[in-house]
Structures are given as C-alpha cells and as structure tokens.
Amino acid sequence: METKELLKKVQHIQIKASHLVNDVLAGEYSSVFKGRGMEFDEVRQYVPGDDVRTIDWNVTARTGVPHIKSFVEERELTLMLLVDLSPSSQFGTVTQLKSEVAAEICALLAFSAIRNNDKVGLILFTDQIEKYVPPKKGKKHVLRVIRELLQVEPQGTKTDIGEALEFLMRVQKRRSVCFLLSDFIQDRQKFEKPLKLANRRHDLVSLSISDPREVRLPPLGLLELEDIETGERLIVDSSSMTVRQGYEKAGKSSRDALSDLFRRLDVDQIHVETDQGYVDSILKYFRQREKKLSR
C-alpha cells in the first residue's frame, strides 16, 4: 500500500473510531472490563488496626514477629488484539472485506482502551505469527497498531488459531483482556484445547466476522466456488433451490457448531457480519456483560 493511501486510511479509521468512542461507547468499555483488583504489594510488620486475615504466617513464623501482606488496587489493564489475516479474511461481497471490518473494530477497541489509560498489544496471524506489537499506552502507539493492521502483507496461506493462542500465552503472562478476531474457518478440534487454556488465563472474547455469501447463495446460475486457503474448486448450480438451501444449511450448521464450542468453554462471543455494521453488536455485548457482572 502506498504511503499516502495508508495515511489516508489510518486517518479515516482514526476519525471514525474516535467519534464512536466519544459519542457511542463512552463509559461502556471501562464499565465491563475491570482492573485486576487488589494486587500484592509487599510484606511488612503488623501494626495495631491491620486486618489479621492478611497475616503472612510463613514470614511471621520465620522472624518471630507478626507480618502482613499488603495490597494495592490496580486498575490498569492490558488489551490484546489477536487478528486473523489468513487469505479468507480478504473476502467481502458487500462494502468491506472481513479484514477491513476487523481493522475498524480493533481501532475502536484500542481507542477505548487508551482513553481508559490501558495498554494495547497486537498479534497478527495466519498459519504463523505475522507480526507482534508488544503492549504500550498512548495514541501514538494505537496509530502504529492501526498501521500494522493495514500494511502487513501476510506470508502464511492458511489459518492456525491454536498457534496464535499459544503465542499469546508465551508472550503475555499476566491476565489480560484478549479479543480474538477471525472468521474461524478452521477445523475446530485443532484450536479447542489452546482456546480453553487461553480462556483460563485471560479474559478472552471471540469476535467472529463473516460475509453473507458464506451462508447464502444468490440465484445466479452456474457458479465456481473456490476455497481460497486450499485451492479446492467446486461448480454449483445456484439457480437450484435445493442447492441454495443445502449451502445455507451447511453454513448455519458450521456457525452453530462454533457458537456451541464457545458456550461449552465459557468463552464470550460476538458475531459481526460485513453487511450489518459492528457497533450495535459490540454495544449489545458490552451491555449484556455489564448485566452479568452486576448480578
């Protein structure tokens, strides 16, 4: 992508995301993603009035003098964005490619995070790790994240969600809020275990992005369909109602199976389609989560 075109796209996304953060999502992000709460600070000698429940019995026994563990409240969060840039993300039949929708959503989440003084990190992946941007704070850093999303030219030709999650667990030891953006077009068994492990360590949110043509075929006669990641081709007669119904049934079955996996593993999920906009879906998730947390 040419430098001028890249800067123009970054500026467009920045303006759009900033507007949405200020006018639509104000307060939503911070209300549903809390800090780590009380975090260990130090061990010090007990003084009258301290909570006896915080006594460190090991240190007390070793020194013969009562000691307690003190804690400090920590609000700061780290937001990690894991974005699937495999070939299937370069598909879109409405106004945007799936990858373009993912970039805008990442910008929205990232600007929400820095408004809350949180760090933002980025992992771009295909069937390999394409780019890792360590978490940092600030607007300048978020603009770098957006540029990386737009300008990275993926080398991988397939999808490996499990590898991306395992990489996350290697580089991000402390608990973080992690958004996994993908179309999840991969054998679910290959990423189920790392998904389960990553969800235990982090606050993981799956955000699936799909295009309407992945579920519904228009009646256009003979069509040649190609799996962009395997190269497999198939000619179908889309004028046949039976063919269209079978195609839709298969697409919905795959989507339902993915949702069932997320529910079974207790992974939060958001679904976005390229023809419907993403703000309402994200807002709906934030408000559902806030209600869940307030119970």
* Residue type at position 188: R
Q: 33-83: per-residue pLDDT in tens?
A: 865 545 555 788 888 877 777 888 888 898 898 888 766 445 578 999 999
Q: State what percent of residues in the chain have pLDDT above 70.
A: 94
Of 8-12, 124-128, 146-150, 197-201, where does mean pLDDT reach its minimum?
8-12
Q: How many CB atoms lie within 10 A of CB 277?
A: 12
CA-to-CA distance for 42 and 35, rounded, in angstroms? Answer: 19
Give the chain's radius of gyration (CA, Å).
Answer: 23
pLDDT band at 157 (very low <50, low <70, confident <90, very high): very high
Q: Which residues contact 243 (CB under 8 A, 6 or more apart)?
A: 217, 236, 237
Q: 196-213: per-residue pLDDT in tens?
A: 999 999 999 999 999 998
**Whose CA is closest to 60, among 52, 38, 40?**
52
CA-to-CA distance for 79 and 284, rounded, in angstroms? Answer: 19
Pairing assessment for the beta strands 177-182 and 203-210 based on DSSP bridges: parallel
Counts for the chain of helices (H) and strands (E), in that order: 9, 10
pLDDT at 159: 96
Structural domains of the chain ordered from first start: 3-32+76-294 (3.40.50.410), 37-74 (no CATH)
Bridge partners of 38?
A: 73
User: And the tokens for 204?
Assistant: 């993981």
**Whose CA is closest to 95, among 277, 220, 255?**
277
Task: Report if pTM > 0.75.
Answer: yes
Q: Which residues contact 60 (CB under 8 A, 6 or more apart)?
A: 46, 66, 67
pLDDT at 209: 97
- DSSP assignment of 107-134, as one string? HHHHHHHHHTT-EEEEEEESSSEEEEEE
pLDDT at 167: 98
Phi-psi sector, 49: left (phi>0), alpha (psi -120 to 50), beta: left
Q: At what angle do helices 3-23 and 98-115 cross, to 10 degrees?
A: 60
Half-sphere exposure of 265 (CA within 13 A, CB side): 26
H/E run at residue 73: strand 67-74
In angstroms, how far is CA 244 from the centroid of its own chain?
Answer: 32
pLDDT at 189: 93
